[in-house]
Amino acid sequence: MTAADPVISVDGLTKVYGDTVAVDGATFDVRADEIFALLGPNGAGKTTAVEILECLRSPTSGSATVLGHDVTESPRAIKARIGVVPQSFHTFDRLTVRENVALARRLYDDGSDPGAVLDRLDLTEYAGTRFGDLSGGYQRRTGIAMALVSDPDILFLDEPTTGLDPAAKRTTWAQIERLTDLGTTVVLTTHNMAEVEELADRAALLVDGATVAVDAVSALVDQYGGEIKLVVETTGDDDAVETALREAATEVYRDDVGDLVGLFEDRSRAQAAFGRLHELDGDRSIDLTGAGMEDVFLRLAGGTVDSRGDLR
Ligand SMILES: Nc1ncnc2c1ncn2[C@@H]1O[C@H](COP(=O)(O)OP(=O)(O)OP(=O)(O)O)[C@@H](O)[C@H]1O
């Protein structure tokens, strides 16, 4: 393996359970040190695909390599170098955070000092607290600490912030982001499109077991997100603004409060128009509302997902 090789390579991966094709020819690569999101509505095959990469299930056909090792041929080599935090993570309630992390450390020949890992995740203050007495956010963080103490090259996180309050979500995102700076590749499964936009470098969208799109998040939004809107506050003297907007936008209209709205097919044209309008009249409020991953999901999966991952 060279540094440029993907750390995970999935090609035509298929998993069949009886009559159910859970994964159907999924194909994607994960690059070193990136945050990669595996997306899809409930039942799309995310968990099955990830469990194959974690060597917990065997594929029916196709191939998957992790850190250069084939999942069916070298599961032990793979398991020694990955960390896994399941969504339903739980550990010993009556042991403290430090004791749980130390216990995880003893399962591996190599790894980090548990105290250093607690420090890295801002858990030192809670080192002496029993796991069962922690909030959901700190329990999840303990799970990440237990997975990191073996110094994995790849960390798999299954819905890392589901059920957390907004503040705990933000803290968890910041900590996940820091992991890649220290050379850990992160693979996360999530239903939360804000999480993907905030965290992920690239993403694959699975629908009915197949990958319908794999790319950088910004590229997915540009390609499938649809139109970008510029909303310009009405001040009564709007002629010059309207003319400038009409020159650049594909469509211009007034919304229900009378503000001028320009629709753009691509971000760079919208940004250029945004700059011109500001020069024209610096006092108006001008909002650029971009398309997002919700729009990508809507376009490619045929609906949006609710917080539980059901397609609506
Ligand atoms: N052990 C199993 N036996 C039979 N069918 C299974 C098994 N595990 C998963 N499936 C089926 O395979 C399909 C894909 O399931 P999977 O859990 O991988 O999807 P998912 O995208 O992770 O969904 P979720 O977001 O709900 O976790 C579903 O139809 C599911 O019912």
Report yes or no: 53 and 187 within 8 Å, Cβ to Cβ.
yes
User: Encoding tokens for residue 123?
Assistant: 């858990």
User: Tokens 């991966």 label which residue?
Assistant: 13
CA-49 nearest atom, ligand 1: 18
ipTM: 0.96
In a domain, 308, yes or no: no
CATH label of the domain that carries residue 215: 3.40.50.300
In a domain, 302, yes or no: no
In this prediction, residue 101 has a pLDDT band, given cuts at 50, 70 and 90, of very high
Q: Has residue 156 got a pLDDT over 70?
A: yes
User: Encoding tokens for residue 96?
Assistant: 């403290």
Report yes or no: 176 and 105 within 8 Å, Cβ to Cβ.
no
Task: Please tell me whether residues 174 and 246 are part of one structural domain.
Answer: no
Task: Please tell me whether residues 120 and 231 are part of one structural domain.
Answer: no
pLDDT of residue 1: 67
Residue 63 in 3-state DSSP? Answer: strand
Task: Please tell me whether residues 188 and 200 are part of one structural domain.
Answer: yes
Kind and range of the H or E run holding 42: none
Q: Has residue 172 got a pLDDT over 90?
A: no
Q: How many domains does the chain have?
A: 2
In a domain, 307, yes or no: no
Which ranges of 41-164 does DSSP label H, i.e. alpha helix? 46-53, 75-79, 97-106, 114-120, 136-148
**Percent of the chain predicted with pLDDT > 90:** 51
In a domain, 304, yes or no: no
Q: Please list every protein residue whose CB sits less than 6 Å from any atom of ligand 1.
A: 17, 20, 22, 40, 42-48, 309
Q: What is the mean predicted confidence (pLDDT) over 191-196?
A: 87
Mutate to test the pocket of ligand 1, among 20, 52, 87, 189 (most ligand atoms within 8 A of CB): 20
In a domain, 152, yes or no: yes
pLDDT of residue 304: 67
Q: Has residue 218 got a pLDDT over 70?
A: yes
Report yes or no: 139 and 89 within 8 Å, Cβ to Cβ.
yes
In a domain, 2, yes or no: no
Q: Has residue 307 got a pLDDT over 80?
A: no
**Percent of the chain predicted with pLDDT > 70:** 96
Task: Provide the pairing of β-strand 286-289 with 228-232.
Answer: antiparallel
pLDDT of residue 6: 93
Q: What is the mean predicted confidence (pLDDT) over 276-281?
A: 82
The tally of CA atoms less than 13 A away on the side-chain side of residue 89 is 28
CA-44 nearest atom, ligand 1: 21
CATH label of the domain that carries residue 229: 3.30.70
In this predicted model, what pLDDT tens digit does every residue of 16-36 receive, in sequence order? 999 999 999 999 999 999 999
pLDDT of residue 3: 65
Task: Please tell me whether residues 193 and 255 are part of one structural domain.
Answer: no
Structural domain span for residue 250: 225-293
Q: What is the mean predicted confidence (pLDDT) over 169-180?
A: 88
Distance 213 CA to ligand 1 centre (A): 20
Task: Please tell me whether residues 53 and 183 are part of one structural domain.
Answer: yes
